[in-house]
């Protein structure tokens, strides 16, 4: 394709040219900017930060807005206003542009490297695809466990959604019997059970007959089981919030007793975000848990309040603080996630909101967060089944075909594991940053593109010739037969624009065709 033809094609499609010039915030002729910068230099005035950030956002300088958010967050941290600092750090993560090129490569247990820590039940490569399904009325008959708690079968979900799951979770009160019937049903389907085990108080947690009997029952099941003990402890709504030292003591006790009797379990320490605040004070230590988890949701409104909109909040900004802190040493579990397609606030159907959040989170996991080894969808309509004090939204995949289709497409990858990964299983390919690798034959290239504004425009050029264009955020996939290219080094250049054709970022990487 000649440069003249590519330029003409861009113009005909009302798209920017991939080689458009880089813009600078210094080009803005806004008399407010020097005044606000002066206030920031002299006294770090927070209101000046906020006004300047808004100017940059309006004019499409999202990276500069993100830089100022981080600078402001640092000021709050110096003043020990941690909650405010976290808010602005999250806003920075939502604003910043991201653009990166990857290539799928085969892997082995020996070659997994830093992707694998060897923790209990950790898949070598890939991510367990999971869900909570017990309150989905579209799934047919229920069955009961030893506690007369009702469940849906894995096969019902598989048939309705067209997607197999590697794990399912349930809630269990501490003091209730081990759910042997439920575990056996999941075992028969090749699904790993995940029990969110919740005490009514920390005082009831002791090294006693109940805890030891529960551990022996887990051993007798002879199947991998995740135990998420006392999660969301950083939330004021939990009965075990408020005494981090006692919580750490009890979590370590549970971890120790379970591992003493049940070799096929893994414990998950799981926070909620928000609020992070003092969440890490509750961490039981690297030797006190197997996995680290986080619960977060994408909702249009926080706290069921119209005056607290959250449409622009990125799910990645809620994952990122946990990932950055723990992923180098622990597998990460997104224990609960869902994106609303209806809020109790206005009852409007908003499938496009859910679809955008689904594409952003699930698309990012194989590329930007390979140490996330489990992601669970909370498949429930909490408007229909409300919990006092909780944000009420419809998260059911089975009630909106567009949302279900988006989730199915976003998880249509070997990376998302639909069964327990045992030793000797074939491993899914791993997406690694493209960085001068020697490639041959059919090759899958991947591109991660994110900008704050919706519907960004993305180009990918091979040796200066455009081979791919799209208008959406998230992950992009392109299959290339490298054997058809001339042997030697080739260059890929990705370019990102917002919907107003304003340049945001470019990324370049090379490979060698053998």
Q: Is 118 contained in some domain?
A: no
Q: Is 111 contained in some domain?
A: no
- The answer on 486 and 350 residing in a single domain is no
Which structural domain range is residue 89 located in? 28-96
Q: What is the pLDDT of residues 338-394, one digit of tens each?
A: 999 999 999 999 999 999 999 999 999 999 999 999 999 999 999 999 988 789 999
Q: Is 169 contained in some domain?
A: yes
The residues pairing with 474 across neighbouring beta strands, listed in sequence order, are 449
- The answer on 360 and 315 residing in a single domain is yes
How far is residue 183 from each of residues 169, 180, 219, 299, measured CA to CA in Å?
10, 5, 12, 31
Q: Is 463 contained in some domain?
A: yes
Q: Is 23 contained in some domain?
A: no
- The answer on 303 and 167 residing in a single domain is yes
- The answer on 352 and 230 residing in a single domain is yes
Report the CATH number that the domain containing residue 351 is assigned in CATH. Answer: 3.20.20.80
- The answer on 234 and 92 residing in a single domain is no
Q: What is the pLDDT of residue 70?
A: 95
Position of tokens 């089981």?
A: 225
pLDDT at 147 over 70: yes
- The answer on 334 and 209 residing in a single domain is yes
Q: What is the pLDDT of residue 279?
A: 95
DSSP letters for 298-343: B-SBGGG-TTSB-TT--HHHHHHHHHHHHTTTS-EEEEEE-B-SBB
Q: Please confirm whether the linkage preceding 362 is cis (ω < 30° from 0).
A: no
- The answer on 217 and 180 residing in a single domain is yes
Q: Taking all residues of the chain, what is their mean pLDDT, rounded to a whole number?
A: 93
Residue 2 neighbours by CB under 8 Å, 6+ apart = none
pLDDT at 13 over 60: no
- The answer on 295 and 154 residing in a single domain is yes
With pLDDT > 90 as the criterion, what percentage of the chain qualifies?
83
- The answer on 149 and 89 residing in a single domain is no
Q: Take residue 83 and report the two structure tokens written for it.
A: 């909650």
Domain boundary, last residue among 364, 396, 417? 417
Q: What is the pLDDT of residue 1?
A: 36
pLDDT at 301 over 90: yes
pLDDT at 12 over 60: no
Largest CA distance in the chain: 79
Q: Is 114 contained in some domain?
A: no
Q: Is 8 contained in some domain?
A: no
- The answer on 142 and 165 residing in a single domain is yes
Q: Provide the angle, in degrees to the nearest 10, between the axes of the packed helices 82-95 and 62-78.
A: 170
Q: Judging by beta carbons within 10 Å of its beta carbon (0-12, 13-18, 19+), is residue 394 exposed, middle or buried? A: buried
Q: What is the pLDDT of residue 468?
A: 97
Q: Is 306 contained in some domain?
A: yes
- The answer on 205 and 328 residing in a single domain is yes
Q: Domains in the chain: how many in total?
A: 3
- The answer on 310 and 171 residing in a single domain is yes
């Amino acid at each position: 394709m000649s440069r003249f033809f590519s330029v003409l094609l861009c113009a005909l499609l009302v798209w920017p040219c991939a080689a458009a010039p880089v813009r600078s915030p210094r080009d803005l002729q806004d008399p407010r900017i020097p005044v606000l910068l002066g206030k920031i230099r002299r006294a770090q005035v927070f209101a000046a930060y906020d006004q300047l950030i808004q100017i940059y956002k309006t004019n499409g300088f999202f990276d500069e807005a993100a830089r100022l958010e981080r600078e402001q967050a640092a000021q709050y941290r110096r003043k020990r206003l941690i909650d405010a600092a976290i808010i602005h750090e999250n806003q920075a993560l939502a604003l910043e542009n991201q653009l990166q090129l990857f290539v799928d490569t085969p892997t082995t247990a020996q070659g997994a490297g830093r992707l694998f820590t060897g923790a209990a039940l950790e898949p070598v490569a890939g991510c367990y695809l999971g869900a909570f399904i017990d309150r989905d009325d579209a799934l047919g008959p229920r069955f009961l466990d030893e506690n007369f708690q009702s469940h849906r079968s894995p096969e019902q979900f598989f048939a309705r959604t067209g997607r197999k799951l590697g794990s399912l979770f349930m809630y269990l009160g501490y003091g209730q019997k081990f759910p042997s019937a439920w575990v056996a049903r999941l075992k028969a389907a090749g699904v790993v059970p995940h029990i969110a085990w919740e005490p009514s108080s920390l005082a009831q947690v002791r090294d006693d007959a109940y805890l030891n009997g529960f551990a022996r029952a887990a051993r007798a099941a002879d199947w991998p089981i995740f135990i998420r003990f006392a999660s969301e402890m950083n939330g004021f709504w939990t009965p075990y919030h408020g005494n981090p030292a006692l919580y750490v003591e009890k979590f370590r006790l549970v971890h120790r007793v379970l591992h003493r009797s049940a070799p096929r379990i893994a414990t998950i320490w799981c926070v909620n975000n928000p609020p992070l605040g003092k969440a890490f004070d509750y961490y039981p230590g690297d030797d006190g848990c197997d996995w680290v988890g986080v619960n977060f949701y994408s909702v249009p409104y926080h706290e069921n309040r119209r005056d607290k909109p959250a449409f622009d909040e990125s799910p990645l900004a809620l994952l990122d603080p946990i990932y950055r802190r723990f992923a180098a040493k622990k597998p990460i579990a997104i224990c609960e996630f869902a994106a609303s397609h209806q809020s109790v606030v206005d009852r409007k159907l908003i499938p496009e909101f859910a679809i955008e959040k689904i594409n952003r989170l699930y698309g990012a996991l194989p590329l930007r967060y390979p140490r996330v080894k489990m992601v669970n969808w909370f498949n429930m309509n909490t408007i229909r089944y409300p919990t006092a004090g909780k944000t009420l939204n419809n998260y059911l995949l089975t009630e909106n075909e567009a949302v279900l289709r988006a989730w199915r497409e976003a998880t249509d990858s070997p990376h998302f594991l639909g069964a327990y990964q045992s030793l000797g299983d074939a491993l899914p390919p791993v997406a690694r940053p493209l960085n001068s690798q020697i490639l041959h034959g059919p090759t899958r290239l991947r591109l991660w593109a994110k900008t704050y504004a919706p519907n960004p425009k993305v180009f990918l050029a091979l040796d200066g010739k455009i081979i791919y264009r799209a208008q959406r955020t998230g992950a992009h996939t392109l299959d290339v037969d490298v054997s058809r290219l001339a042997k030697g080094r080739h260059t890929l250049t990705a370019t990102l624009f917002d919907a107003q054709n304003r340049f945001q970022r470019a990324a370049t990487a090379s490979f060698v065709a053998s």
